[in-house]
A and B are shown apart, each in its own frame.
Chain A
Amino acid sequence: MIETPLNAKIKGEDFTELPKDLYIPPDALEVYLEAFEGPLDLLLYLIRKHNLDILDIPMVELTRQYMVYVEKMRAIKLELAGDYLLMSAMLIEIKSRMLLPKPSEIVEDDDPRAELVRRLMEYEAIKLVAQRLDEMPKVDDGIHVASAYYQHISQVKPPEVTLDDLTEAWRNVLKRASHFKHHKVGRAELSVREHMSSILRRLKQDKLLEFSQLFDVVNEGLSKLVVCFLAILELAREGLLRLTQQAAFYPIYVQIVCDE
C-alpha cells in the first residue's frame, strides 16, 4: 500500500513520507478492520495516525488512505458493509468539489468538508463518552448493593365468609337439586356425623373443594343434602375445616384445617 510515491501537500508543505506506524502486518489487517465500528471510526483512526488536523483535513490524502483500507477489505473478502462504500463516495465527492476552482467570492463556511468534520467530531465525542460509560462502575460490575435477607411474610388474611354467603350458597345447592328431583325409595342414613367424616375424608384427598362439589345433587335426595350442609356447618364450627371466598358471590371453597 506504500508503493506509489506520495505526492501530497499538507498545509502547503510537501508530504513525502508516511509515518512509520501506518504499517500494519498483513496478517493483522483482518483483525484491525473488524475492529472498526464503521467508516467514521476508520476515518478517525486514519486522522489520528497521520496526526492530521481535523479542522483542515487534507482530503486527497485522507481519501487515498481510506480507499487503500477499503480495497484491502475487498481483497480479503471481508463482509464489506454498504456504509463503507457510501463513505467512499462521499469522500470522493468532497475531494472533487475541493479540486474545482473556487469563485473568489466564496465564503469560508462553504467548505465542502464542513459536514464531514461535524460528523467526525460528533462521533468522536460519542465514542469517548461510550468508553467512559464502559469504564464506570455499574451495579453488579463494581457496585455492590446491600441485600440483607428478609423473609417476606405475606399479610394476606384468608377472606371471611359470612352467614349470608353460606345461606346463598346453600340456596343454590337446593335450586340445583330441584332440577334433579326424583323419588328414591330406600333407607337413607341421615347421620350428620357420618357425613362429617366422609367430607373430611374427601377433603383429605382433594385438599380444596368448591362448596357445591360436596353436594351430589344428582343422586342424593333433599334430606341427605340438608344433612350434608349441616355436617359442613358442624365441621366449620369445630374448626376442622375452613371456608373461604374471594369476594361476594364468588365460589366458596372448603378446605381442611391442617395441623401445622
Chain B
Amino acid sequence: MSESTSPTELKNVLEVALLTSPAPLSLDDLLRLFAGRMERATLRMLLDELQQDWSSRTMELTQVASGYRFQARAEYADYLVRLNPERQARYSRAVMETLAIIAYRQPVTRGDIEAIRGVTVNPNVMRQLQERDWVDVVGQREVPGRPSLYATTKHFLDDFNLRSLAELPPMVDFVDSADAESV
C-alpha cells in the first residue's frame, strides 16, 4: 500500500486515530501510525493544524496529561447530559478533601492526610480513589512502619482535563478566602 504524504491525508490519519481511540494518544502513539516515517516536529505541526481545522466544529482537539484527545466543546455539555439523565454519584467531602491533599501535597502518607484533615483516614476513601485510578502508591517513606506514599495518577489529570499538576486551581490563602466563603 502506498501511503500518501500530503498534509491533508496525514492529518486525516491523525484525525481518524484520535476519534476512534478510547484513551488519549501520546505523541509516541501517533508516531507509530506512520511507522517511523514522521518527525516529531512535523507531527506537532500537523496536530496544531488539526486543532485549527476543528476550531469551528463541535469537537475540539485537547491535550491532557497522557496525550491528545477529541472532546465535545463545553457549551454542548448541557445537551449531552440529557442523554444520560442519571447523574454521576458525587464523591463525599472526605473523598474530595483527601484527593485535594494528595494532589497538592504529594507524595503523602495516610499520616500526612490525617494531620491536615484532623480525622483518621477512612480506608474506604482511599479505596474509592484508587479504584477510580486517580491515586496510587508510589513508594514508602523510610520511617518506622514504612507507610505508603500516595500520589495522583496521569489518569487523574486526564479526567480533570489537565496537562500537569501545575494547571490545578491555585490554593487560596485563608485570609483572602474569608470574603469568598459563604456558609
Contacts and interface: CB of A to CB of B under 8 A. Distances in A.
Contacts of A81: 119-120
Contact of A83 (B80, B97, B103, B120): B120
B131 to A, nearest CB: 14
B46 interface: no
Interface in B54-107: 59, 69-72, 74, 76-77, 80-81, 88, 90-91, 93-94, 96-97, 99-101, 103-104
Interface in A107-132: 119-132
Contact of B59 (A39, A123, A146): A146
A140 interface: yes
B118 interface: yes
B90 A143 contact: no
A133 B96 contact: yes
Interface residues of B, number: 49
Interface residues of A, number: 44
Given A49-B183, A146-B71, A127 B97 contact: yes
A75 to B, nearest CB: 21
Contacts of A33: none
B109 to A, nearest CB: 16
A125 B173 contact: yes
Interface in A137-178: 137-150
B118 A38 contact: yes
A134 B91 contact: yes
Contacts, number: 129
B127 interface: no
Contacts of B174: 54, 120-121, 124-125
B172 A129 contact: yes
A150 B21 CA distance: 9
B67 to A, nearest CB: 12
Interface string B102-123: 0110000000000111111000
Interface of B: 16, 18-20, 22, 59, 69-72, 74, 76-77, 80-81, 88, 90-91, 93-94, 96-97, 99-101, 103-104, 115-120, 158-161, 168-169, 171-175, 177-178, 180-181, 183
Interface of A: 37-41, 45, 48-49, 54-55, 81, 83, 87, 119-134, 136-150
